[in-house]
Amino acid sequence: MNETENIIIVDKLTKKFGDFTAVDHISFEVHRGEIFGFLGANGAGKTTAMKILCGLSLPTSGGGTVNGYDLCREQEKIKRHIGYMSQKFSLYADLKVWENIRLFGGIYGLSGKRIRQKSDEMLHYLNMTDLRDELVGDLPLGWKQKLAFSIALIHQPAIVFLDEPTGGVDPETRRLFWDLICETAEGGTTIFVTTHYMDEAEYCDRVSIMVDGVIADLDSPAALKQHYQATDMDTVFRKLAYQAKRE
Amino acid sequence: MVLLYLLEKEFKQFFRDPGLPKMAIAFPVLMMLVFPFAVSMEIRNINLVVVDSNRSVASSKLIETCTASGYFNLVAVSDDPDWAMQQMDKNRADAILTIESDFDRCLERGEALPVGIKVNTINGTKGSIGAGYLTSCIQRYRAEASPASTASPTAGPQLDVSAKYYFNTYLDYKKFMVPALIVIAITMLTGFFPALNIVSEKERGTIEQINVTPVNRGVFILCKLIPYWLVAFFVLTACLLIARWVFDYSCAGSVGLMYFFTAGNILVTAGMGLLISNYSENAQQAMFVTWFFMMVFMLVSGIFTPIASMPDWAQAITYLNPMRYYADAMRGVYIKGSTLADVWSDAAGLLTIGTVMVAWVILSYKKTT
């Protein structure tokens, strides 16, 4: 695998809401196959930036490509090749487990046979075969998140965006969730993940830290720790995030 | 096909909802079983106070004629005009019939009857209809009491006007209201349900998961629209059957034409609901905006008050009101048996507004903001 091939290229990306500049001329690249951590305090602009990368939002200026497609003109093409899981749990709570899998499989154009095959595999892999006929709304949060993640991967996207996937989940489930993420990355899928948990940042190949709409630093966790003379990512984050001027 | 998967989702969600399917059943039943009786413009139970200063056999016969007509409740017979007036002030009397002391003498002589009618016209319609009923009771009484007077020698050749009533032969107000109530039931259900639909996906966050997929927005909107066609057809069928079983009314024209107009109406109401849903941030907002439009549509639709008696400017506004076309067509087909050739202008109006609505919904639904 060519390590330096860039799946995401962003150049001077900017998003303004009225007078407020949520994302301010950020530029970076994400390599194919890596786990890219996108960190930042609340309100630093990471969700806004992520929405632009997913084609949910148009940049005010600047641009870039995701999997070779233009961010400003080819959002619908981008959407074919990405998976997305948001911090707000977003499967249909009033549909059963298998019905959610079937729906999203169908939306991404999988055949009925392929969907059945996929959902058997997925449920077996997640140890959820017995929960097939449960309404998704009745599942515990940890299970929901694992299911949502797997459904985001149903069409084998080149890259999957995870917006605070482990928010509100207990430590043990978080660890299992990250096992799932690492296994997926080993399979060649690029992971773009935002998180608040600095211990999770250690799992990433590279992390960027956003402060006030700009990228304050971007490197591997090891290099960042060395640069800021810190023993853990938590200290690195505090040193950078405390430069923030806006709330 | 993506369309089928999305439709499957919409139907499952509809039937799993704790309230929607029950509403879809309860609403038409209520509309057809309760409102034809309750929403009646027929004036009955007019409270009548009689001031009888004559107190003769003739005057009590007149009072009997009035009460026997079935339109009046006799509150009291008194000989004090002031007391009677007080009753009207206190809202206990809608009409006062005053019989003067020389009533029986005038009747014998064949002179004009000395009776007076006072009506409370706070409700103008009720007042004037009440006065009309009273007048006709008095005339009937006079005709019965002294047949000679109607054929008096001085009378010239008489014009005998006879009215023939078409379509709703017995002037049955319920028959007039049944198609209108169908229109209201369908418009309300298929307006409010979709208005809540997209906005609830917004509230739950599921809309984002849809927007991040390559699903075509036209297909997505179509899948939101189709279930309401079926809801509306179900409601229409239920209403027609109830009208048949309970009131023994049946559609004078083609039932198929009623389904055709209902299908056209869904484009408008469901389209409008989804449109409001698109622009609303939460369910409350969507509900209030929908309620506002429904209210306006209903009041100037011609369902309760004839459009022809509205002032010109109000009549001009009704051309923008989709319910006007739908109500007019449904009444025409159901009561008169109108054919498409008779109500083609309603079809044109309805379909034009509907097409604009649906196009607007699709264009205003943004997957990328």
Model confidence over A233-244: pLDDT tens digits? 888 888 887 776
**A55/B208 CB distance under 8 A:** no
Averaged pLDDT of chain B: 84
What is the reported pLDDT for A104? Answer: 92
What is the reported pLDDT for B36? Answer: 79
**Where along chain B do the CATH 3.40.1710.10 domains lie?**
46-148
What is the reported pLDDT for A101? Answer: 92
Could you give the CA distance from residue B342 to residue B350 in angstroms, rounded to a whole number? 15
Local confidence band at B258 (pLDDT 50, 70, 90 cut-offs): very high
Partner residues linked to A209 by β-bridges: A39, A217
Strands A214-219 and A206-211: antiparallel
Average pLDDT estimate for B39-51: 80
Could you give the CA distance from residue B272 to residue B57 in angstroms, rounded to a whole number? 65
Strands A35-40 and A206-211: parallel
Residues of B in contact with A55 (CB under 8 A): 212, 367-368
pLDDT > 60? residue B152:
no
What is the reported pLDDT for B101? Answer: 86
Maximal C-alpha separation, chain A: 54
Detail the DSSP E strand segments found in chain B. Answer: 46-52, 72-78, 95-99, 115-119
What is the reported pLDDT for B157? Answer: 47
What is the reported pLDDT for A35? Answer: 92
| Interface subset of A 39-58, CB within 8 angstroms of B | 54-58
Inform me whether the C-beta atom of residue A81 falls under 8 Å from chain B C-beta atoms: no
**A104/B16 CB distance under 8 A:** no
**Per residue in A111-136, pLDDT tens?**
889 999 989 999 998 888 898 899 98
Local confidence band at B81 (pLDDT 50, 70, 90 cut-offs): confident
Locus of tokens 């149903």 = A154
Q: For Cα atoms A65, A68, A73, give the angle at the middle one, nearest 5 degrees.
A: 55
**A107/B13 CB distance under 8 A:** no
pLDDT > 90? residue B259:
yes
Where on the phi/psi map is residue A178: left (φ > 0), alpha (ψ -120 to 50), or beta?
alpha
pLDDT > 50? residue A17:
yes
Could you give the CA distance from residue B169 to residue B176 in angstroms, rounded to a whole number? 11
Phi, then psi, of B311 in degrees rounded to 5: -65, 160
What is the reported pLDDT for B350? Answer: 92
**A92/B206 CB distance under 8 A:** yes
Could you give the CA distance from residue B229 to residue B18 in angstroms, rounded to a whole number? 20
3-state secondary structure of A211: strand
**Per residue in A21-43, pLDDT tens?**
888 888 888 888 899 999 888 77
Local confidence band at B164 (pLDDT 50, 70, 90 cut-offs): low
What is the reported pLDDT for A193? Answer: 92
Local confidence band at B153 (pLDDT 50, 70, 90 cut-offs): very low
Local confidence band at B178 (pLDDT 50, 70, 90 cut-offs): confident
What is the reported pLDDT for A198? Answer: 84
Q: Which helix (H) or strand (E) holds A13?
A: strand A6-17
Q: DSSP letter at A135? A: B
% of chain B exceeding 90 in pLDDT? 17
Residues of A in contact with B197 (CB under 8 A): none
Average pLDDT estimate for A83-108: 88
Could you give the CA distance from residue B250 to residue B204 in angstroms, rounded to a whole number? 45
Average pLDDT estimate for B90-112: 85
Who wins on pLDDT, A1 or B312? B312
pLDDT > 60? residue A167:
yes
**B2/A57 CB distance under 8 A:** no
What is the reported pLDDT for B151? Answer: 45
Who wins on pLDDT, A1 or B74? B74
Q: Which helix (H) or strand (E) holds B225?
A: helix B217-247
Could you give the CA distance from residue B242 to residue B31 in angstroms, rounded to a whole number? 10
% of chain B exceeding 70 in pLDDT? 92
Name the residue among A84, A93, A94 with its Cβ closest to that of B212: A84
Average pLDDT estimate for B213-234: 89
Residue B75 CA from chain centroid, whole number: 31
**Per residue in B275-304, pLDDT tens?**
998 888 888 999 999 999 988 888 888 888
Q: From the CA atom positions of chain A, what is the Rg in Å?
A: 18
Domain B46-148 has CATH 3.40.1710.10: yes
What is the reported pLDDT for B64? Answer: 87
Average pLDDT estimate for A207-236: 85
What is the reported pLDDT for A238? Answer: 83
Taking the whole predicted model, whether its pTM rises above 0.90 is answered as no
- Mutate which of B15, B200, B206, B216 to disrupt the A interface (most A C-beta within 10 Å)? B206
Inform me whether the C-beta atom of residue A104 falls under 8 Å from chain B C-beta atoms: yes
Residues of A in contact with B208 (CB under 8 A): 56, 84, 86, 88, 90
Neighbours of B32 (CB within 10 A): 24
